[in-house]
Amino acid sequence: MSSGLFALLDDVAALAKVAAATLDDAATQATKASAKAAGIVIDDAAVTPRYAVGFAAERELPIIWKIALGSLRNKLIFLLPAALALSLVAPWAITPLLMAGGAYLCFEGFEKVYELVVPHAHHDETGGEDGSGPLDAKQLEEEKIAGAIKTDFILSAEIMAITLSTVTASSYWMQAVVLAAVGLGMTALVYGVVALIVKADDAGVALARRSFPPFRLLGLGLVRVMPPFLKLLSAVGTAAMLWVGGGIIIHGLASYGFAGIEHVIHEVAIVAGRAWPALSGTLEWLTAAAAAAVAGLAVGGLCLVGMHVLVRPMLKAWRSRGAKAAAAEAKRH
């Protein structure tokens, strides 16, 4: 009887070890995937605060919360099942989809750089999308939240695609666990940081009003530091988009047999590392990231040209054809 009990306890202990190893493996893979998606996370954290700008201080955190819930819905309800289905049905499509997402990141990054070099007029954000006139505060808030969730969908799709590409050799359930872990972790990280950024100036103002000199100095420092910090974060986000997007394109080309660019970057990075052996690892990484960002800038420029030369004229012609057909149909009746 006692031997049977000890055998049962031994089996339970073995199962516990297997479960712990599985969870540890999932955590390790989730961490690796999160590191690869770091560039997108930085950009997400840089972009999102602007959706809460211009509202009363008491509305900032509720807006961030609603966007965070929308981001979770994007990742867990729409993108996670789609990623798992893709892994089962068409795993060959992961790389081209990842490259398409990388091209989008390059396009967005190039647009931001182009905007710095050649500034152009911004649209008035106080009117409705249909040009129906100014919106009240509630409508404007809802429109901002909807726009933020749409933007998040693209960035979340890229995060989930990068994550899926790192766990394709794992079991189906391991893929599901890692995707869910990355989705939850990234959302908590991004919107936690965004909440801190958005409320930092309010905290600074509150501290600046304190009579205790160290608190007052800290508050004044926060108020002065936040505007340049947001600009720096935006610049880092743009660089990260180009670096991540360019890296995805280069690695994707290598997987299809066009490994020349990747090999050249690797060799240049090694040479850069030898210039200062004490910092060889850092220099190699910086060189490779810079080269990937340059490649991303080139890809983004090509995408922008393609948008203006091919896509937009085609869309314009299609809409014009549709409008003419609708007008002809109206005349018949």
Residue type at position 298: A
Q: Residues 33-61: pLDDT tens digits? A: 555 555 566 666 666 776 666 667 788 88
Distance of alpha carbon 46 from the chain centroid = 10
Mean pLDDT (the chain) is 78
Please give the model's pTM, rounded to 2 decimal places. 0.71
pLDDT of residue 331: 72
Q: Residues 90-142: pLDDT tens digits? A: 888 888 988 888 898 899 889 889 888 887 655 454 555 445 555 567 888 88
Give the pair of three-digit tokens for residue 194: 């965004």
Residue 245 to residue 105: CA distance in whole angstroms: 5
Confidence at 194, pLDDT banded by 50, 70, 90: confident
Confidence at 1, pLDDT banded by 50, 70, 90: very low
**Long-range pairs of 62-66 with CB within 8 A, sequence gap ≥ 24:** 63/141, 63/144, 63/145, 64/191, 64/194, 64/195, 64/198, 65/191, 66/145
Q: Residues 222-281: pLDDT tens digits? A: 888 888 887 887 788 788 888 888 988 998 999 899 999 999 999 999 999 898 888 888
Give the pair of three-digit tokens for residue 318: 């299609």
